[in-house]
Amino acid sequence: MSNIVRTRFAPSPTGDLHLGGARTALFSYLEAKHRGGEFILRIEDTDLERSTPSAVKAILDGMSWLGLHHDDGPYYQTKRFARYREVAEKLLNEGNAYRCYCTKDELEEMRNAAEANGEKPRYNGYWRDRSEAVPLDASGAPIKGVIRFKNPQIGQVVVNDRVRGSVVFENAELDDLVIWRSDDAPTYNFAVVVDDADMGVTDVIRGDDHLNNTPRQINIYQALGLTPPSFAHLPMILGPDGAKLSKRHGAVNVMQYRSDGFLPHAVLNYLVRLGWSHGDQEIFSMSEMIEHFSADRVNHSASRFDVEKLTWLNHHYIKTLAPEAVVEEFRWHLQQQELAEVHGPSALDLIVALRERCPTLKDMAEKSAVWFKPVANYDAAAVTKQINPVSLGALKTLRNNLANLNEFTPASIHAVLEKTLAELGIGMGKLGPVTRIAITGTTVSPALGQTMYLAGQTGALARMDALLAAFPV
């Protein structure tokens, strides 16, 4: 086995890819790339009742959208059952595991007895050292039992966690966990050890809800004569109110953030700062994340999710990235609004015109709709305030001047605006609002030159003609 660093993201496909999982994937990816290693994707789908193809697709789609591309995989645990059986048999043959035939009722009695004695409810090891024949059920058929790992009963397991430091577990507090279920499938704690060992995983980065699993897994590693990987358990993400992150805080499918108009890099930049920092730096390119990240510098305290901060970061990228870096993602949003570029302005021109005023791409696409179809309604309040014989006369003069333009660009349009104002001896207040109403139906739009440019010369003239026809003087 090579000495290359290998990390993995190993989600269970029982639901969508949420923020917590996305952060785990990001940190695992960055740790591998920072150290010149490889990043593995593994789908832990042994929960046959709850795992679904749609959840697998949600995970793969989310990872692809975020740009967290795996170097190896994806692996699927359901395709590795033969390997798990092989290792389970090895543990049985070497005396490190045993078959247990306790019924559900017997296990419940054990738990109740332990609780009655003020003890931790758990399996009491009844079949640990027994050798009698397989018991039969009421019909006379052999009971289909489970395989349990023979956990050490003395000593300690010390987890040298890269986030939490040294965490000590007493073996006497760990019961003999099931590694093979009666439905002929491996359990999580067993399969994950076999997988990480076979795949050469050197560093496991995962949520701190897995911390209590770690001593059990380390004992299985040692029983197999293997060296455990290093572990880093990430603290949870809380909502702004300090409660566990839930849907009301924004714990939704990562792809919902795409639907809401967030750029993937904005999401990544926000997630990397949930528990990790590099001085006071807030804005990170992917190359900077890779250069500076280390799991050793993850804070052990929980982080709070703040959608306002994420929105600010998203707007920063919309405003500062080259339009070409945003355009493909923006085109996706135009498609969601059923806006085709062949029927309106180019996506690049829209980004330039709207990026200062739109914090999300969804907002930008919604505001773009006005340039793709004729104005259906004029804002009543704006009409009352701005439409009058003087403004309409100024609009007509502007319309005629624009019709003579050979090159229809924001700069040439602006020059015609200035010429028209000088020609009529009026200020922009007499011409600007009525022109905006003609083009967009309201008095709110980007710079006037851009507003008309986005409509195109033919479209702008047609819109002006429509307003003049609607309000004849």
For residues 160 and 32, state if they share a domain.
no
Q: Would 167 be classed as within a structural domain?
A: yes
For residues 63 and 104, state if they share a domain.
no
Q: Would 465 be classed as within a structural domain?
A: yes
pTM of the predicted model as reported, rounded to 2 decimal places = 0.92
Tell me the backbone φ, ψ of residue 307, rounded to 5 degrees.
Answer: -65, -25
Q: What is the CA radius of gyration of the chain?
A: 32
For residues 229 and 100, state if they share a domain.
no
The one catalytic residue in 79, 247, 373, 385 is: 247
At 234 the pLDDT is: 96
Mean pLDDT by 10 residues, the chain (473 residues): 88 90 97 98 89 92 97 96 98 96 88 83 88 80 91 96 97 95 94 98 96 97 98 92 70 87 98 96 97 96 93 98 97 96 95 97 97 94 96 97 95 96 96 97 95 97 97 86
Exposure on the CB side of residue 35, measured as CA atoms within 13 A: 18
Domain that holds residue 39: 6-76+190-237
**Max CA distance (Å), the chain:** 108
Among 113, 145, 180, the domain boundary falls at: 180
For residues 385 and 468, state if they share a domain.
yes
Domain count across the chain: 3
For residues 92 and 169, state if they share a domain.
yes
The CATH number that applies at residue 95 is 3.90.800.10
Cα distance between residue 236 and residue 245, in whole Å: 8
Does residue 277 contact residue 27 with C-beta atoms inside 8 Å? Answer: no
Q: Can you read off the two tokens belonging to residue 82? A: 């033969």
Q: Would 45 be classed as within a structural domain?
A: yes
Q: Would 297 be classed as within a structural domain?
A: no
For residues 115 and 58, state if they share a domain.
no
Q: Would 301 be classed as within a structural domain?
A: no
For residues 393 and 467, state if they share a domain.
yes
For residues 92 and 214, state if they share a domain.
no
At 256 the pLDDT is: 93
For residues 129 and 224, state if they share a domain.
no
Does residue 405 contact residue 416 with C-beta atoms inside 8 Å? Answer: yes
Among 136, 156, 180, the domain boundary falls at: 180
* 268 CB neighbour count, 10 Å cutoff: 23
Q: Would 321 be classed as within a structural domain?
A: no
Please name the residue that has the structure tokens 């990390």: 7
At 136 the pLDDT is: 84
At 48 the pLDDT is: 78
Tell me the backbone φ, ψ of residue 25, rounded to 5 degrees.
Answer: -60, -45
Cα distance between residue 431 and residue 166, in whole Å: 72
Among 146, 180, 214, the domain boundary falls at: 180
For residues 199 and 165, state if they share a domain.
no
Q: Would 256 be classed as within a structural domain?
A: no
Query: Is 430 annotated in the active site?
Result: no
The CATH number that applies at residue 69 is 3.40.50.620
Q: Can you read off the two tokens belonging to residue 94? A: 């070497």
For residues 99 and 67, state if they share a domain.
no
The CATH number that applies at residue 438 is 1.10.10.350
Q: Would 352 be classed as within a structural domain?
A: no
At 247 the pLDDT is: 63
For residues 67 and 198, state if they share a domain.
yes
Does residue 12 contact residue 261 with C-beta atoms inside 8 Å? Answer: no
Does residue 467 contact residue 435 with C-beta atoms inside 8 Å? Answer: no
